[in-house]
Amino acid sequence: MALVRVISSDGAAFLVSQRLAKRSGKLKTEIETFRKSSDNSEAQPEIRIVTIRAEILRLVLQWLQQHQNDPVLPANQNEQDGRGDAEMGQSQWDRDFLAPMDLGIVMELILAANHLEVKGLLDITCKLVESKITGRTVDEIRTAFKLKSDFKGNEEEQTRLENRWCVEN
Amino acid sequence: MEEPNSNPMLNSVILGNIFEMLPISDLASCRQVCKTWFEESKTRWRRDMWLKLGESDGDRSNDTTLALSKFLDLDENAAVTNPPNLEGVTFKKFKLQHWDFHLEKDDKWKAQFWKTYGPVITHLAIEQSVFGSREDFEAVIFQLIPNLQSLTLNKNKFNVKESQIKMRQSFSDVVFNANKMESSLELSGFPINTYNEVHTFKGLLKAMLNLSFNGGYKWTIEHLDIFHLHRNWCHRFEPGCINFLLKSLRFPLTSLSLDIGSDTYPSDFKIILETYANTLRKLVVFRKDGRSLIPDVSHRDFPFGVQLESLAELRLLGTAVTPNLKFMRFMPNLRSVFLAQETGSSMMDMEPFLSDSHLFSDLRKQQMEHQWGYLCSVFPVGNTDFSQLDNTLLQKMEEFIMCGKNDTICSAEQVAALARIMPNLRKVRVGLDNDGFRIVCSAWRELELLIIHPCEVNACGITGTLPGLQTQLPNLNDLTQLRYFAYACKGYLKSKVLAMDDSVVGIDTYKNLIKDTRAPPRPQITNEALQEFIQNVPHCMIKRFHDEDEEWPDLQEHNYEDDSSSGDESPTDFEEDMANILKFNNEIIEQQRRGNGGDEDDDDESEDVEDEDDEESEDVEDDDEIGLDVASDADEADHVHVDNRAG
């Protein structure tokens, strides 16, 4: 079976099947690029991901492994549909997978899923952060994410006004 | 990786992704958090939101409408000189309210607005405004906004003096970028006026027709929404005229939404269907009350013998568009059908789970505005002679939602007939008793959404038990994919609800539900059982995490500096990482051993792992390759190997 070696920023190498790796848009492109540039069709591709450390890469691969037989989600899904599906499709496994993570790890996973183009994982991790935001007041959001307001003068009032001038449909 | 020490919640990639998913109301809060969030929100905000612009600060404009002069003052893009470069974040959807379109009047604000924003506007709504003349209207629509994709006109006044307008003449020198107006055309509240005026829908169609005949334009409108074309509801879809025009224009329509009118002849409706039979993928038809569309010998029931091959989504709203389900014969590729005769509150909860979530709320709004009473109704399932649908099989059907004021319980035979016609259903709303419920549980195992209304299912039905019967009948536990379950929704006393007792609490399916709407429990259910039930229905994830807020670690506790640059990682951290990875691998090996005998190759590699395993704690930096095999349901097993070569 064709394998690919994926190396994290801190040098840990993961040997995974190409079939699994190709569920990541980024790895798929990399593998195809390697194929084109390599004379030996049997050669094993090696892909270095300089932005993702081993722990995070492991989690991404673990998630891919679990979801290897899911239908691939189209990247530009209709938003309304996308939201509904994400909600409907979130499995118990995903919930257990995310449950022990602290917010920092979730953030890194979002970056990794974004970089590796793994739509499903990006959805569930963003969904998790989203759940910290939905229904909250501005102050509650600031507290939850340790952010401070840096608006000066009437700038904050201005953003509030702009919100009122806009409607969704 | 992003800068060390920075709060990841200021990272634009993270924010961008999250902001794309948030409901707009929450995005509005996020915009007020800090400057970075405000800036990051702009992309989605200005792409998706409509900006309401009033002409002036005058009496009419209030807080919720921005005056044009103020907007031009505030907006950074307006300062950009000719030619405007608005590639970046700018509003593209504008709702102009209370404008006075007298273009000959000299008005520097408006001139600047059209110059700067005319070319970037893709969506335009004009509401409660006044057009000075036909030329003004044509100039706005056809000249100033060359890239218009969607036009909505609502409750405007037209000061048109001429009762007859010479179309050909006036249009011959209009610069008209026909191909751009392609994505949708949505019109509502048109004044019903004399013929030939371009600002009536009919007039617009005539003008378009004229242009295609005399100017060679090819119209590419795909979505036509004239649902709210009439101020109230439509009595009669103007026979001949609009039909004829629509027919002659031959838009490549894929979606059509209209109020067909209470007294419209079937033959007129038929012409519309025939015209778009080949392209139509979505059809929304509303009909208010009136007589049923009288089938005559030649026309039959809806869709009057017209074969709609491409139609996937069908919404029949209001009353008496069709008295039965025989239309399904003509639509072999249906995916989703709503038959909605009422828009009551019972639908609200489930709307977010349906494919047209706004449809019912729109209708409800209109219903309130015009103070309809309840619509009279028919019960299509009961009127259907299923033997006529014997050869009908709708493989793609996923969503079948029926709601009517006088819905009745489907008999077991009727449910069985529905199940035969639509074997792959995922979402259904239907009236059931115990017998019908059992058929649902055995026939539609993949159901994700089930709403029973009216409901005569009781605890025996839910649990699949019968007194004196040993074997368990099909029951709620068979629906393992169920995510939304509702019955006897509140406000509806008609259902003979529903003696539930403690036996239903243990149902496993409940644990998967993200939403469960039910009538208040009857006395048969004990407090303890109720508590247990509440614990067993963990609702959606969002709620769960709200409840567990305290368990989220303090952001400050997590040291991002260490995570962000791999080179500086302390050996202890790294060892810990590696140990975790090895642990993970070992777990998978275990799984694999249990699940899969494995072939020779795999065994070989597993040996390696065992060796490594033993030394793991002392020497994680060993160069040996660690391989392992992962259990997999698929024919070809996937491999996850770890090779630790860091130093």
Q: What distance in Å separates residue A163's CA from the closest CA in chain B?
A: 6
Q: Are the Cβ atoms of A167 and B95 closer than 8 angstroms?
A: yes
Length of chain B: 647
Residues of B in contact with A165 (CB under 8 A): 51-53, 64-66
Q: What distance in Å separates residue A67's CA from the closest CA in chain B?
A: 11
pLDDT in the model for residue B286: 81
- Whether B183 shows a pLDDT value over 80: the answer reads no
pLDDT in the model for residue B577: 46
Q: Are the Cβ atoms of A147 and B34 closer than 8 angstroms?
A: yes
Q: What distance in Å separates residue B519's CA from the closest CA in chain A?
A: 23
Question: How many CB atoms sit inside 10 A of residue B406's CB?
Answer: 15
Q: What distance in Å separates residue A28's CA from the closest CA in chain B?
A: 16
Q: In the block, which residue shows the tokens 């002069």?
A: B69
Mean pLDDT (whole number) for B606-614:
37
Each residue's pLDDT tens digit, B553-595: 232 333 333 333 333 434 444 445 445 544 554 555 455 555 5
- Whether B274 shows a pLDDT value over 70: the answer reads yes
Is residue A165 situated within a structural domain? no
Nearest to B516 by CA among B492, B465, B482: B482
Q: Are the Cβ atoms of A54 and B577 closer than 8 angstroms?
A: yes
DSSP secondary-structure letter at B142? I
| Residue B301: band (very low, low, confident or very high) from pLDDT cuts 50, 70, 90 | confident
pLDDT in the model for residue B368: 61
A89 vs B326: CA distance, rounded Å: 33
B542 vs B352: CA distance, rounded Å: 15
Is residue A25 situated within a structural domain? yes
Q: Count how many domains chain A has.
A: 1
ipTM here: 0.86
B223 vs B208: CA distance, rounded Å: 16
B120 vs B117: CA distance, rounded Å: 5
Q: Are the Cβ atoms of A134 and B22 closer than 8 angstroms?
A: yes
| Highest averaged pLDDT of the listed ranges B33-42, B87-96, B255-264, B300-309 | B33-42
Q: What is the dihedral of CA A90, A92, A95, A97, to 10 degrees?
A: -110
| Residue B354: band (very low, low, confident or very high) from pLDDT cuts 50, 70, 90 | confident
Residues of A in contact with B11 (CB under 8 A): 107, 111
Structural contact between residues B449 and B514, judged by C-beta atoms closer than 8 angstroms: no
Structural contact between residues B495 and B487, judged by C-beta atoms closer than 8 angstroms: yes
Mean pLDDT (whole number) for B62-90:
62
Nearest to B285 by CA among B253, B247, B321: B321
Rg of chain A, C-alpha, whole Å: 20
Each residue's pLDDT tens digit, B420-477: 999 999 999 888 888 899 999 999 988 888 888 777 777 778 778 777 777 788 888 8
Distances (CA, A) of B627 to A129, B276, B279, B583, B589: 35, 59, 54, 13, 9
Q: Following DSSP, what letter does each residue of B378-442 receive, concatenated?
A: --HHHH--GGGGTT---TT--EEEEE-TT--PPPHHHHHHHHHH-TT--EEEEEEEHHHHHHHHH
Q: Are the Cβ atoms of A102 and B558 closer than 8 angstroms?
A: yes
Q: Are the Cβ atoms of A167 and B644 closer than 8 angstroms?
A: no
Mean pLDDT (whole number) for B219-240:
68
Q: Does domain B408-537 have CATH number 3.80.10.10?
A: yes
Sign of CA dihedral B33, B37, B39, B41: negative
Distances (CA, A) of B381 to B257, B378, B416, B487: 24, 9, 12, 19
Each residue's pLDDT tens digit, B484-521: 777 654 334 344 444 455 555 556 666 556 555 444 43
pLDDT in the model for residue B535: 62
**Interface with B, mutate which of A65, A114, A133 (most B CBs under 10 A):** A133
Mean pLDDT (whole number) for A73-80:
46
Residues of A in contact with B566 (CB under 8 A): 8-11, 53
Q: What would the 3-class secondary structure string for B93-138 be?
A: EEEEECCEECCCCCCHHHHHHHHHHCCCCCEEEEECCEECCHHHHH
Across the interface, of B14, B32, B540, the residue whose CB is closest to A87 is B540
Least confident of A75-84, A134-143, B23-32, B307-316: A75-84
pLDDT in the model for residue B419: 92
Q: What distance in Å separates residue A20's CA from the closest CA in chain B?
A: 7
| Full strand arrangement of the beta sheet holding B130-131 | B100-101, B130-131, B157-158
Give the nearest chain B residue to A19 (CA atoms): B638
Q: What whole-number percentage of chain B has pLDDT above 70?
A: 49
DSSP β-ladder status, A166-167 and B336-340:
unpaired
Across the interface, of A61, A111, A144, the residue whose CB is closest to B14 is A111
Q: Are the Cβ atoms of B13 and A114 closer than 8 angstroms?
A: yes
Q: Which two tokens stand for residue B593?
A: 């051993």
Is residue A18 situated within a structural domain? yes
Q: Are the Cβ atoms of A79 and B20 closer than 8 angstroms?
A: yes
| φ, ψ at A157 (rounded to 5°) | -60, -40
Structural contact between residues B375 and B342, judged by C-beta atoms closer than 8 angstroms: yes
- Whether A52 shows a pLDDT value over 60: the answer reads yes
Q: Is B69 left (phi over 0), alpha (psi -120 to 50) or beta?
A: alpha
Q: Are the Cβ atoms of B7 and A95 closer than 8 angstroms?
A: no
- Whether B299 shows a pLDDT value over 70: the answer reads no
Q: What distance in Å separates residue A61's CA from the closest CA in chain B?
A: 8
pLDDT in the model for residue B595: 53
pLDDT in the model for residue B507: 60
Nearest to A148 by CA among B7, B6, B34: B34
A104 vs B466: CA distance, rounded Å: 53
Q: Are the Cβ atoms of B50 and A166 closer than 8 angstroms?
A: yes
Q: Are the Cβ atoms of A163 and B563 closer than 8 angstroms?
A: no
Q: What is the CATH number of the domain that holds A54?
A: 3.30.710.10
Residues of B in contact with A1 (CB under 8 A): 636-637, 639
B647 vs B645: CA distance, rounded Å: 6
Is residue A44 situated within a structural domain? yes
Mean pLDDT (whole number) for B394-398:
92
Nearest to B602 by CA among A7, A3, A47, A52: A3
Structural contact between residues B488 and B454, judged by C-beta atoms closer than 8 angstroms: yes
A25 vs A64: CA distance, rounded Å: 12
| Highest averaged pLDDT of the listed ranges A1-5, B48-52, B310-314, B540-544 | B310-314
- Whether A77 shows a pLDDT value over 60: the answer reads no
Residues of B in contact with A137 (CB under 8 A): 29
Give the nearest chain B residue to A85 (CA atoms): B353
Q: Are the Cβ atoms of A87 and B625 closer than 8 angstroms?
A: no
Nearest to B591 by CA among B640, B634, B632, B638: B632
| Residue B347: band (very low, low, confident or very high) from pLDDT cuts 50, 70, 90 | low
Residues of A in contact with B28 (CB under 8 A): 163
Is residue A163 situated within a structural domain? no
**Interface with A, mutate which of B34, B46, B70, B564 (most A CBs under 10 A):** B34
Residues of B in contact with A14 (CB under 8 A): 640-643
- Whether B399 shows a pLDDT value over 90: the answer reads yes
Who contacts B45 (Cβ-Cβ below 8 Å, separation ≥6)?
Answer: A166, B27, B31
B187 vs B205: CA distance, rounded Å: 12
Is residue A169 situated within a structural domain? no
More reliable by pLDDT, B617 or B284 = B284
Q: What distance in Å separates residue B204's CA from the closest CA in chain A?
A: 24
Least confident of A54-63, B155-164, B353-362: B155-164
B562 vs B568: CA distance, rounded Å: 7
Q: What distance in Å separates residue B149's CA from the closest CA in chain A?
A: 15
Give the nearest chain B residue to A162 (CA atoms): B66
Distances (CA, A) of B127 to A46, A129, B141, B156, B157: 60, 38, 14, 6, 9
Each residue's pLDDT tens digit, A127-162: 889 888 888 889 999 998 888 888 888 888 888 878
Q: Are the Cβ atoms of A110 and B581 closer than 8 angstroms?
A: no
B108 vs A150: CA distance, rounded Å: 36
Mean pLDDT (whole number) for B6-18:
86
DSSP secondary-structure letter at B520? P
Across the interface, of B33, B630, B636, the residue whose CB is closest to A142 is B33
Q: What distance in Å separates residue B152's CA from the closest CA in chain A?
A: 11
Q: What would the 3-class secondary structure string for A101-120 be?
A: CCHHHHHHHHHHHHHHCCHH
A35 vs B301: CA distance, rounded Å: 59
Q: Please, what is the end-to-end C-alpha distance for chain B in angstroms?
A: 21
pLDDT in the model for residue A80: 40
Residues of A in contact with B569 (CB under 8 A): 10, 53
| Residue B165: band (very low, low, confident or very high) from pLDDT cuts 50, 70, 90 | very low
Each residue's pLDDT tens digit, B101-155: 877 776 778 888 888 888 888 888 887 777 776 667 767 766 777 777 777 766 6
Residue B162 burial class via C-beta count within 10 angstroms: exposed 0-12, middle 13-18, buried 19 and up: exposed
| Highest averaged pLDDT of the listed ranges A88-97, B179-188, B429-438 | B429-438
| CA angle B416–B419–B423, rounded 5-degree value | 155
Each residue's pLDDT tens digit, B323-334: 788 889 899 999
Q: Are the Cβ atoms of B632 and A95 closer than 8 angstroms?
A: no
Across the interface, of B29, B512, B640, the residue whose CB is closest to A138 is B29
Least confident of A46-55, B352-361, B613-622: B613-622
Structural contact between residues B3 and B563, judged by C-beta atoms closer than 8 angstroms: no
pLDDT in the model for residue A81: 40
Q: Following DSSP, what letter does each residue of B163-177 receive, concatenated?
A: SS--HHHHHHT----
Residues of B in contact with A162 (CB under 8 A): 31
- Whether B77 shows a pLDDT value over 90: the answer reads no
Residues of A in contact with B23 (CB under 8 A): 134
Distances (CA, A) of B85 to A166, B68, B123, B133, B273: 23, 20, 18, 32, 44
- Whether B221 shows a pLDDT value over 80: the answer reads no
Reported as type and span, the H/E element at residue B605 is helix B600-615
Distance of CA B159 to the CA centre of its chain: 39
Residues of B in contact with A87 (CB under 8 A): 514, 540
- Whether B643 shows a pLDDT value over 50: the answer reads no
Q: In the block, which residue shows the tokens 């807080």?
A: B63
* Domain that residue A120 falls in: 3-150
Domain extents in chain B: 49-81+89-219, 222-407, 408-537, 571-643
B425 vs B434: CA distance, rounded Å: 19
Question: How many CB atoms sit inside 10 A of residue B204's CB?
Answer: 20
| φ, ψ at B432 (rounded to 5°) | -140, 150
pTM: 0.55
Who contacts A89 (Cβ-Cβ below 8 Å, separation ≥6)?
Answer: none
Q: What distance in Å separates residue A39's CA from the closest CA in chain B?
A: 25
Q: Are the Cβ atoms of A142 and B647 closer than 8 angstroms?
A: no
pLDDT in the model for residue B162: 38
Residues of B in contact with A150 (CB under 8 A): 34-35
| Residue B191: band (very low, low, confident or very high) from pLDDT cuts 50, 70, 90 | very low
pLDDT in the model for residue A58: 92
